[in-house]
Amino acid sequence: MNRPTTLALTFLTLTLAACGRPASTPAVSTDDTSSGSVADAGGHGAGGNGAAGHGDHALAAPGPDRSRLPSRAVLGPATVAPGLRVQTLPANVQPNLLALKVLILSSGPSDYGIGTARALLDQSGIPYDVLDASRTPLDTAALIAPDGSGRYQGVILTDSALIMDAGNGTYPSALDSAEWDTLFEYERTFRVRQLALYGAPGSVPEDYGLRYVAGAETATTSLRLNAAGQAVFSDLKGAAIPVTYSYTYPSALQSVPGVSTQVLATDPSGRVLAATSTSADGRERLILTSAQNPYLTHSQLLGRGLAQWLTRGVHLGEHRRFLQVDIDDVFLEGDHLTSALTLTAPFRLSGSDLLNVRTQQDRLRSNYPAAPNFRYALMFNGGGANTAVPTLCTNSPWLTRDLLSSVARCLNTQFDWVNHTLDHQRMDVMPLSTATTQIQQNLSVGTKLGLNMSRASLVTGEHSGLGFMDPTDDGTRNDDGTAGPKQDLGLGRSNPNLLSAAVSSGVTYLASDHSVASQWDAQCPTCGVPHPLNPGVFLVPRWPNSVAYHVTTPDEATAFYNSLYGPGGLFPYWDRNLTYAEFLDRESDQALTHILNGTPFPHFMHQPNLRQYAGGKSLATDWVQAALVKYSTYSKLPLNTLRWDDLGAQVRRHTAEVKASAAGTLSGTWNRSAGTVRLTSSAGTVPVTLSGASSGTLYGTDRAARYDLSGSLDVPVTPR
């Protein structure tokens, strides 16, 4: 029996030092430290590898670079240049026909709002186009198809005036007056809603019936929805939402002839932070007065409701939320780090611990209605199990040679058991026969123990075999640590023997590491990755977090974390050592970020994290509970937990749908007069999800239906 590769602290230090942070994109601002693209705690905001760790021992980075958050995203007074020619709409307009697609209007390459606009739509799978208004004219041909139908069902402005910083103290709009008039006429004629993600409300280029209150600008406040706001953001509760690191223009109502304004949210002083507004010509608009960023809590919490309002709830794709937690290395011994930062005797989960995990899992389901079906996925290594033991459901070690294996027999249906290979060997350089044995014999152990397994799924030891490796590895030391630090050599350096062994063993879904840049799709952050070397293998990325792989108690967890990120640590980030409560608060912020983005990517921890360090408590369950407390404070939507085989199928289906939409082979056209959407696939059978379908499955207050589509299909819809 082999146990997971031991990482000496000196080697871990080298690995940590090798990890970088992604670059950020400058914002339009009077302060060049602002940014519209910020790495989250895993370092994934800009697509880089910001995690600290090694293989399946990765740690999330401590937090975002606060100097790059949009706390100084200042909007100067907008000016609109006169247009040369006002365009008229073509005579053949069909205002009741709209493509199910959204237009994002951007002010240019330094636009700080573009990341939020993309994320808002990506997280629901809504197709969109981006028009850089600083470079591309906006004319009727961009908005109306040759047959007279509308190209877009909604319009997002990254800020209400599409301001550009000219660098000379002026802030011209990226659209001239004729282009604004063309946009407004399109919105009026086709009854298309407009969302301004950020604004300092005034009268240019149009009036929302609001004025920002001079002197009230702030970077830290909170937002509370009123009754009208809760109707728009129907997935949210009434709790105040923190608005931090975000430049905000608290505003007041202003009476404007013909304009009707409905406040949706206010700050603690009653000033307006969000409102809908109907223009004098009948157009519907929604404006936010805080800067947005896809990794800030307020942006993420508001995102789903904004998308639903903009599209009237009828769109391609769907936004669901998930809570997936994997525990690696079950049955094996693993490293154990004490609170004094020394390695001690290896730790192996006990049968008593596993019995208590079931109790903890049941308690989470009972105490948090948001997670009624939560279950851990246990990634097991059968080389550490004993199949010749009786089934035991009690803490009776004298009745068996291995209580953990006996209890696993008893709890065979209580968890999602997933193949983690027989011995946790590194598979970067491994012959086909050995790789096949490692996969298939582990399934055999699971079968003998009677485990209810996700047989089509596999997690390799250290996520090995996928090109994140020591380039000098010759495969002769697969039970030991690598000689040198691992490098991201790309999926092209994956072990083809592993891929072939996986496919021949019935594996379709292979876990990858989201902290490794090549193992997730930066162009489609909600997608999985079809393996480029073997189409039979589909990668599902997993998130690391900051619960280290070798800690079992709160003191151990915080001691190691502070040794890295405390003021005296290797990579100082915090101004003091965090307590365990502060550590969990920080961790739950990042967990909330990942949950709200609507992807089912799992978070992964390790078997020492399930040790019952006190009655009914473990580090892993503390982490889950902290995430659920925070999520339940804000959201009404239930969280889905899928078995790994179903999770893989979900991610693969979503990926195929999004890719088909992006390629233009999957589309939807809304015929509002008929009350139907025509779905069309021009490239064979593809999966499609239609939100707003009248006969769809209810999730929260919204319905969505799924189809496997070939050709065209008309579906009745019920708009919000």
**Contact between 117 and 294 (Cβ < 8 Å):** no
Cα atoms found within 13 Å of the Cα of residue 347, Cβ hemisphere only? 22
**Contact between 290 and 298 (Cβ < 8 Å):** yes
What is the tens place of the pLDDT at every residue in 183-209? 999 999 999 999 999 999 999 999 999
CA 137 to chain centroid, in Å, comes to: 33
Fold entry, domain 325-644:
TIM Barrel (3.20.20)
Tell me which amino acid residue 480 is. Answer: D
Residue at token pair 């089934």 = 391
- Kindly give the residue spans of alpha helices, DSSP state H, lying in 470-579: 496-504, 554-565
Domain regions of the chain by residue span: 91-312, 325-644, 664-716
Cα atoms found within 13 Å of the Cα of residue 661, Cβ hemisphere only? 30
pLDDT (0 to 100) of residue 56: 60
> Comparing C-alpha atoms, which of 55, 20, 24 is closest to residue 519?
55
State the CB neighbour count (10 A cutoff) for residue 487: 14
b/e map 534-565, b = 16+ CB within 10 Å: beebbbbbbbbbbbbbbbbbbebbbbbbbbbb
Q: Rounded CA gap, 690 and 588, in Å? A: 32
pLDDT (0 to 100) of residue 67: 64
Q: Rounded CA gap, 291 and 246, in Å? A: 5
State the DSSP string of 133-188.
TTTS---HHHHB-TTS-BS-SEEEESSTT-B---SSS-EEBSS-HHHHHHHHHHHH
CATH topology identical between 91-312 and 325-644: no
State the CB neighbour count (10 A cutoff) for residue 257: 7
What is the tens place of the pLDDT at every residue in 67-102? 667 877 888 889 999 987 777 889 999 999 999 999
The alpha carbon torsion through 681, 687, 693, 697 (nearest 10 deg) reads 170
Enter the tokens of residue 575: 């101004």
Q: Rounded CA gap, 606 and 383, in Å? A: 16
pLDDT (0 to 100) of residue 170: 86
> Comparing C-alpha atoms, which of 250, 292, 249 is closest to residue 35?
292
- Does domain 91-312 match CATH 3.40.50.880? yes
pLDDT (0 to 100) of residue 344: 96
- Kindly give the residue spans of alpha helices, DSSP state H, lying in 314-431: 351-367, 403-410
Using CA atoms, how far residue 554 sits from 216, 339, 577, 655, in Å, is 42, 9, 13, 38
Residue at token pair 């706390």 = 71
Residues of the chain under the 50 pLDDT cut: 1-55
pLDDT (0 to 100) of residue 3: 44
Kindly give the interhelix angle for 403-410 and 432-449, rounded to the nearest 10 degrees.
70
pLDDT (0 to 100) of residue 94: 97
pLDDT (0 to 100) of residue 66: 67
Q: Which residues pair with 277 in a beta bridge?
A: 261, 285
**Contact between 129 and 99 (Cβ < 8 Å):** no
Check residue 635 and report its DSSP letter. Answer: B
Q: Rounded CA gap, 342 and 579, in Å? A: 20
Enter the tokens of residue 143: 């908005």
> Comparing C-alpha atoms, which of 667, 668, 677 is closest to residue 719?
677
